[in-house]
Amino acid sequence: MADERVYSAPGDVIEATQPVVLVNRYRGFTRINHWITAGCMIVLLLSGFSLFHPSLFWLTSLFGGGQTTRWLHPLVGLLLFASFFLLFVQMWKLNLPRREDMEWSLRIGDVLKGHEERLPELGKYNAGQKMVFWSMSGLIVVLIITGIMIWEQYFASLVSIPVRRVALAVHALAALAAILVFIAHVYAAIWTRGTIRAMTRGTVTGGWAYRHHRKWLRELARRRGTGPAE
């Protein structure tokens, strides 16, 4: 029977089970929070497109018609803001810029070619992931502010009609930018094998952690006294 050792730590955990080492990357609460946010993005993408142009109005049938879509879209927008805020509280410190992020960015060619041995050791997130995080943070703030400004059912007297028109244009542009960032995030998760596992099972293999986020793995191991004191 294989020897199993479990090292407990607040938040992050290393489970060493011969011959596989598993690193606990996300708690169950964080994973649920993440998937609620992702679900909101998809609903907002489809409902937003359906209201954007008459040629896309047929998409409202996914939500029970135009009237349902009209009240559903802003309510899901509020849910997105609340859900992402919880993610922000949990992750903002880990997404602060670090010295190695600049070197990683300058070696983006090696990243795309898979030459990770030429890259600096990284913490829990790389510069690309941090860019997605901060981009979505800013865009969601813009979307919630402009969304309230154009929500005529409850805030018709909040701003003048000319200001509402500008807010509508800004809202549409911010939504487009958020969709592009969202697509890039999904593509990167699929492209980097083993990444999706972190948000479905909560764990990654030790090999994945060592290859992509070695500094984070060393910090975690050193914190529990299970790795080399380098």
3-state secondary structure of 4: strand
Tokens, residue 13:
């955990």
The helix/strand/coil state of 205 is strand
- Rounded to whole angstroms, the Cα distance separating 135 from 148 reads 20
With a CB cutoff of 8 Å and minimum separation 6, the contacts of 207 are 21
- Find the helix packing angle between 99-106 and 127-149, rounded to 10°: 100
The first and second tokens of residue 130, run together, are 């941090």
Helix, coil or strand: residue 85: helix
Query: Do 118 and 107 form a contact (C-beta atoms < 8 A)?
Result: yes
- Pick the catalytic residue: 34, 73, 171, 185? 185
185 assigned to active site: yes
Compute and round to an integer the Cα radius of gyration of the chain.
21
Backbone angles phi, psi at 182, to 5 degrees: -60, -45
| Residue 203 φ then ψ, to 5° | -125, 160
CA distance 78 to 93: 24
List the Cα angle 217/22/214 in 5-degree steps. Answer: 20
Residues acting as catalytic residues: 185
